[in-house]
Structure 1
Amino acid sequence: MNEVRTERVGSAMLITIDRPAARNAVNAAVAAELSAALDELEASPELRVGVLTGAGGTFSAGMDLKAALQGESPEIAGRGFGGLTEAELTKPLIAAVEGFAMGGGFEMALGCDLIVAAEDAKFGLPEVKRGLIAAGGGVVRLPERIPHHIAMEILLTGEPIDGVRAGSLGLANRVVPAGETAAVALQLAEQIALNAPLALAAVKKVVRSADRWAAQRTEIARLMISADVREGMTAFAERRAPQWTGR
């Protein structure tokens, strides 16, 4: 039985964690299958953007504690929790969050480039309640995304916030009624996919670089000799939509 489903929707890949009975908690199988889905997204030139969501009205409850107690790991070497949180993807990834995004579930959402949240979604990092810390990126990324003291409150109390609060803090790009996150995320994916794939990859590379100015110089030099830049300029001059080739 597959734990992760994929569906091609135009130029986007909709990736769904499909363990609703376990609130889409991440075990070894989910991590392996999610990692494979991301590899497929990266390898396919027809796919421009990924959308990650969960089945049954829940994004993910995080690590499957029962599986962990039996020795299973929810991590993929070099790629982090769920095969996602430390993966260096070149293509944009959008989290469509319904219901619970707790622990590693929240960290997977933080590992995405954009977040669409349901109004009643619950984002939390309860690891301290279990003697742990949010080591899948939570303690690293959250203080970079929102004000320090708010991040520390979430990390130190382990208490969740809802989707509306996430939106007000700037954690979510869109906050929508429950049941609409995947559709809105796919709309965002369509907007993103209109743009040059090499440029999108360059944006991601510069943003995650330790020396962003140096990375920016390298990436712009590569882009300026690409066929896509010439196509973008030509299309503008000819008042037509560009036809990207990714070269």
Structure 2
Amino acid sequence: MTSAVVTVPGAMRAGLGPARVGLAEAAQRVGDLLAGMPEPGSRSPAQRAEAAAAHAGARALRVRFMAAHADEVYDELTDARANHLRLAELVEAAARSFPGLVPSAAQLAAERSRAQADKEGHEIDQGIFLRAILSSGQAGPHLMNAMLRPTARALRLLPEFVRTGRLEMEAVRLERRDGVARLTMCRDDCLNAEDERQVDDMETAVDLALLDPAVRVGLVRGGQMSHPRFRGRRVFSAGINLKKLSAGGISLVDFLLRRELGYLHKLMRGIHQEDPERWHSPFVEKPWVAAVDTFAIGGGTQMLLVFDHVLAASDAYFSLPAAKEGIIPGVANLRLPRVVGARLSRQVILSGRRIWAKEPEARLLADEVVEPEELDAAVERSLERLTGDAVVANRRMLNRAEESPDEFRGYLAEFALQQALRIYGADVIDKVGRFGGSAT
């Protein structure tokens, strides 16, 4: 099988038409082989080895195909960049127009019905595709700007939010009060562990806060929990929902990449709007404050790295348990060394060091550490400080100096593939399987 797959690499260097045909034929041969096997979780060791070899051969072709034709592919999918497709729309369009390049809708639907341990791993092909697109100096910035546009859901909800100043979603409550957009993460049963529902609600809330002209500054905080261990206490975030990951409910495109290129990037850069009246900048951005109660684990700590001001209760802690979970902690590998230094970053990411708010090192992650009963007042003071007229211009320049869009894009390009590989790693599947019955 492998030799049959690798007989067409010359086509990858030919024009787009022959390369497209060669890739589709190779992918079909792999598909035919897999169709004759049991489901992934029921294969014998020999069958698993044969399937892995077939996947490897086809993926090598995809890498060569995208290295040669990434810009041509992207231009075809976006009508020469006239259309701004979000990540999910882009991979769907690629599946229709370039058979065998990324998984089809039917393949993805089958994968979604399986636990992570029983999947074929087709999302790795999406990682190959998106790494090439994001690496391109033409296609990559265009895709990033597409992801910085307001979502259709936010635009639909905007008139009602502007009128009422309130929005209740499953994972996030949004309230505008005294010029402040107050985003409360309210997944009280799972300690604000993130899944695709929370990512969608967070991006909607961030969009609305940025679009509403009555909002001058935003606040993100965790709500009170109903979880037995923390009932009645505020919690910031328990990070990725490992129970959902084990069950196969955490996707590369709709969670792992959308989270980084969507609401987290919007917190830092703002939303992208092409408006002739905004001749000075196509971005609408505002300052953001985060308040940490109890803990910010994993993705919770990742979030803090894009805020303008971070407060923490003195009994809280921060952690990035990447080594424990076996995955890459988002963009923390890029951002954390700038904030806390290289050596402490390795202790946190590679060794799982937990940093308590009362430790001196915590002042590298939090601007203010106060007693829990004083946190509400400290938050209000910090919000008032960030309403000055020059704050937005200065935060824009600080963000550009600390992390250029091209640097972020280059990191995300490699992250797209490496994280796809990690979520299908045998060690990750084993570890998250043990978390399957837990809240996070």
TM range, smaller chain:
0.7 to 0.9
- CA deviation string 1:174-198 (max 9, x = no partner): 1111254344223211221132465
Alpha carbons 1:5, 1:16 under 8 Å: kept:
yes
How many angstroms apart in 1 are the aligned matches of 2:390 and 2:221? 25
SS in 2 for 1:8: strand
Bigger CA drift: 140-149 or 96-105? 140-149
Aligned pair count reads: 209
Alpha carbons 2:357, 2:363 under 8 Å: kept:
no
Q: Residues 108 and 202 of structure 1: is their aligned pair in 2 closer, same or farther, counting only changes over 3 Å?
A: closer
How far apart are residue 28 of structure 1 and its match?
1.0
Match of 2:312 among 117, 125, 140: 117
Match of 1:175 among 353, 364, 369: 369
How many angstroms apart in 2 are the aligned matches of 1:140 and 1:98? 25
Alpha carbons 2:222, 2:237 under 8 Å: kept:
yes
TM-score (norm 1): 0.76
How many angstroms apart in 1 are the aligned matches of 2:395 and 2:247? 39
Match of 1:139 among 324, 329, 333: 333
How many angstroms apart in 2 are the aligned matches of 1:161 and 1:35? 28
SS in 2 for 1:22: coil
SS in 2 for 1:195: coil
Alpha carbons 2:286, 2:392 under 8 Å: kept:
no
How many angstroms apart in 2 are the aligned matches of 1:205 and 1:159? 27
SS in 2 for 1:25: coil
Match of 1:80 among 257, 260, 264: 260
Match runs of 1:95-110 below 5 Å = 95-110=290-305
Report the AA paired with residue 303 of structure 2.
M
TM-score (norm 2): 0.44
Report the AA paired with residue 183 of structure 2.
I
Q: Residues 164 and 3 of structure 1: is their aligned pair in 2 closer, same or farther, counting only changes over 3 Å?
A: same
Match of 2:217 among 31, 39, 49: 49
**Is the counterpart of residue 60 in structure 1 residue 237 in structure 2?**
yes
Greater fraction of residues in strand: 1
How many angstroms apart in 2 are the aligned matches of 1:42 and 1:166? 34
Match of 2:322 among 111, 127, 133: 127
Match of 1:152 among 338, 346, 361: 346
Alpha carbons 1:129, 1:158 under 8 Å: kept:
yes
How many angstroms apart in 2 are the aligned matches of 1:130 and 1:8? 36
In structure 2, stretches of 5+ residues that fail to align are 1-168, 225-233, 271-284, 406-440
SS in 1 for 2:264: coil
Identity %: 31
SS in 2 for 1:71: coil
- CA deviation string 1:128-169 (max 9, x = no partner): 1122231x2221111110122122111121121111226654
In structure 1, stretches of 5+ residues that fail to align are 212-247
- CA deviation string 1:91-120 (max 9, x = no partner): 111110001100011101122222101111
How many angstroms apart in 2 are the aligned matches of 1:168 and 1:205? 21
Which residue in 1 is equivalent to 2:397?
A: 203
